[in-house]
Structure 1
Amino acid sequence: MTNYKSQSKINALIKKKSKCVIIPHKNPDGDALGSSLALNFFLKKSGIDSVIISPNDFPDFLKWMPGAEDIINYQMSESKAKKYLEESDLIFVIDFNDPKRSGEMSDFINNSYDKIVMIDHHENPKDFCSVKFSQPKYSSTSEMVYDLIQFIDLSLMDKKISTCLYTGIMTDTGSFKFSSTTSKTHYTIGKLIESGANNSLIHQNIYDTFSINRVKLLGIALNNISKLDFGPYIIITLSKNELQECSYKKGDTEGFVNYGLAIDGIELSIILIDNIDEGNIKISFRSKSYFPVNLFAEKYFNGGGHHNAAGGICYDKLNKTKDKLIVSLKSFIYE
């Protein structure tokens, strides 16, 4: 579906509905939260009763964002969240294209096809919603939300919306260095700054607020880097004990995987994190030009994402997961 058709359908729906719920993916990142918060502000300014329900909590370094204090945590306030969901007549799912990315909320989403609208920039969307605004070529879902607002009523753009969208685009493009960043992305960023986004302050809030424990954890991760002998690949590991020693909090490992790509000649960086909260191994993949980490993650580790940035999970122990990863890398064939 073209942007025009998708945006027209969403615009028509908004004009008819009065109670909206916005759902980002589980473990929401800067783009999921930025696009959700911006859309929430826009809907409210359009006269619509709107609320954000996150499947679970999100990192402290994102809690400064405008409107973040009003987000309902499904895990912490399930009965309250369910009441909003049941009373809603329109539900936006933001920055994910598969119900399983919503954790405990997936059953409700799967049973609400007629009132679900998806806005997302990942590949291979599932068929679980009545309207899809799906464009993998966009840098971020936040850039898509900007285009949607521009299509419907750009006069409603303000500092809060611009701040949220700038944060989402900045974090999902690696501060505009990933290949998904286009001239159009930079144009959008310019417009957001014109609308009040303070780019220097946003960058400071995201990247310059590490705790001492988070810096120590980064040191451990860097010390655990190993280069594989059969390719330009880096693996980083963090065990449960190492996380606990640094009083790990959600979001503390955000961005650690990117350090592997800073090494000269490395094309693929992978981090394996012993997930304290969920009893599995969380895997993040980042690559340079040629390695399709989304296909690799989908084939071997129950995951997916983008060509150069993806995630996955494994339910083995950390060492077994690393062994499986090495075997999978040796056997993976791609064009």
Structure 2
Amino acid sequence: MDRVKEISKFLVIPRDIVILSHRNPDGDAIGSSTALKLFLEKSGHTARIIFPSDFPDIYSFLPKTDDIIIYDFEKEKVEKIIDKTEVIFFLDFSGLDRIDKIGEFVLSSNALKIHIDHHIDPEPIADHVLWDTKASSTSELVFDFINLLNGAKDIDEEVAIALMTGIITDTGSFKYSTTSKTFLTASKLMEYNIDLNALQNKIYNSLTEKQLRLIGHALDNRMEIIPEYHAGLIYLTKQDYKDFDIQRGDTEGLVNYLLMIKNVKIAALITEQPTIIKISLRSKGDISVQEIARKNFNGGGHKNAAGGHVYAKLESVLKRFKSILPSLY
């Protein structure tokens, strides 16, 4: 990151700060945002987290989640806050389209803008950028940012737990997108007395009965394996959403079950929403689902984890995904 001294100087006095992350926030978005809020407040700043949409209840154990402002629920409040803020942090997204209509308010804001992210092809939307596609997560980069500002003294157990949550969820418990630096960061965070077993249980062993039954239904009735192309898919219909009362976060991680099959190298979760079809893509090895999402589904992400959406019928999206598979080999 360039001009660290300039940022440090600007943050010497208490500022009014907004932390933005993307629609449908995941563990990394929530973990990095809450950690940064905690850090900034220790320095006397007023920091508010704003998400375009609500977040999964599974992450409500993290500190400051009760303070998160959701644009879908408080649109006028968000507009007023952004209009008055002095600093805006962009966390865990590469372009303003990922924050929906909030992007319009950001464009007209004169606030200092700081972008921290690890996704491919970031848009030039900020005054200062800390960007690294090799980083495991935005949480890893927020840890770097805090240290660049010589703020290690303000990291405590709460900040460490929030950052570790982001790293764990974005790496699938250190199964992918890791480097030696990722493990070094995790090692340093463990020095703050994190109970890693308890944290893993909160993240991965807190399903409701409904969620577990949904997984069973998806694997038994909605899974299709395409062995000739080492591919698998799961789809969910509007009726499934009604039958299982599917809420935000209920389908998180569902696509990863397909990659547990030995010969499956690319996996898709395709869900029928009220007005659009959403697709989550995962892969093993050299298959770039980021390219597939960008070219075919108005999306993006990482090489082995991406997503997108299209305005189409479920059947046509299923056919489109299958039609792409021969070109991968």
TM range (shorter): over 0.9
Question: What secondary structure does 2:8 align onto?
Answer: helix
Question: What secondary structure does 2:136 align onto?
Answer: coil
Contact preservation (8 Å) 1:113, 1:129 = no
Question: What secondary structure does 2:303 align onto?
Answer: coil
Match of 1:234 in 2: 232
AA aligned opposite 1:158: D
Match of 2:223 in 1: 225
Q: Over the residues paired in the alignment, what is the CA RMSD in angstroms?
A: 1.6
Match of 1:19 in 2: 16
Moved more, 103-112 or 135-144: 103-112
Moved more, 205-214 or 181-190: 181-190
Report the TM-score, using the length of structure 1 for normalisation: 0.93
Q: 1:303 aligns with which of 294, 299, 304?
A: 299
Take 1:94 and 1:288, find their aligned partners in 2: how far apart are those partners?
26
Contact preservation (8 Å) 1:114, 1:130 = no
Asked if 1:72 corresponds to 2:69, the answer is yes
Match of 1:292 in 2: 288
Contact preservation (8 Å) 1:17, 1:90 = no
1:27 to partner: Cα distance: 0.7
Asked if 1:168 corresponds to 2:183, the answer is no
* Structure 1, unaligned runs of 5 or more: none
Contact preservation (8 Å) 2:267, 2:282 = yes
1:222 to partner: Cα distance: 0.9
Take 1:157 and 1:17, find their aligned partners in 2: how far apart are those partners?
18
Take 2:179 and 2:4, find their aligned partners in 1: how far apart are those partners?
21
Question: What secondary structure does 1:258 align onto?
Answer: helix
Report the TM-score, using the length of structure 2 for normalisation: 0.95
Question: What secondary structure does 1:272 align onto?
Answer: strand
Asked if 1:273 corresponds to 2:271, the answer is yes
Contact preservation (8 Å) 2:85, 2:111 = no
Asked if 1:182 corresponds to 2:179, the answer is yes
1:229 to partner: Cα distance: 4.8
1:7 to partner: Cα distance: 4.3
Question: What secondary structure does 2:101 align onto?
Answer: helix
Question: What secondary structure does 1:15 align onto?
Answer: coil
Match of 1:206 in 2: 203
Contact preservation (8 Å) 2:229, 2:325 = no
Question: Residues 193 and 21 from structure 1, CA distance in 2 versus in 1: closer, same or farther, beyond 3 angstroms?
Answer: same
Match of 1:128 in 2: 125
1:200 to partner: Cα distance: 1.4
Question: What secondary structure does 1:266 align onto?
Answer: coil
Question: What secondary structure does 2:312 align onto?
Answer: coil
Take 2:311 and 2:55, find their aligned partners in 1: how far apart are those partners?
22
Question: Residues 317 and 6 from structure 1, CA distance in 2 versus in 1: closer, same or farther, beyond 3 angstroms?
Answer: farther
Q: Deviations for 1:152-202, whole angstroms, at most 9, x for unmatched residues? A: 210000011001000000000001001x11222112112112113221121
How many residues get paired?
327
Take 2:4 and 2:269, find their aligned partners in 1: how far apart are those partners?
37
1:109 to partner: Cα distance: 2.3
Question: Residues 332 and 114 from structure 1, CA distance in 2 versus in 1: closer, same or farther, beyond 3 angstroms?
Answer: farther
Q: 1:155 aligns with which of 153, 156, 160?
A: 153
Take 2:62 and 2:299, find their aligned partners in 1: how far apart are those partners?
28
1:245 to partner: Cα distance: 0.7
Contact preservation (8 Å) 1:61, 1:206 = yes
Take 1:136 and 1:83, find their aligned partners in 2: how far apart are those partners?
33
1:243 to partner: Cα distance: 1.9
* Structure 2, unaligned runs of 5 or more: none
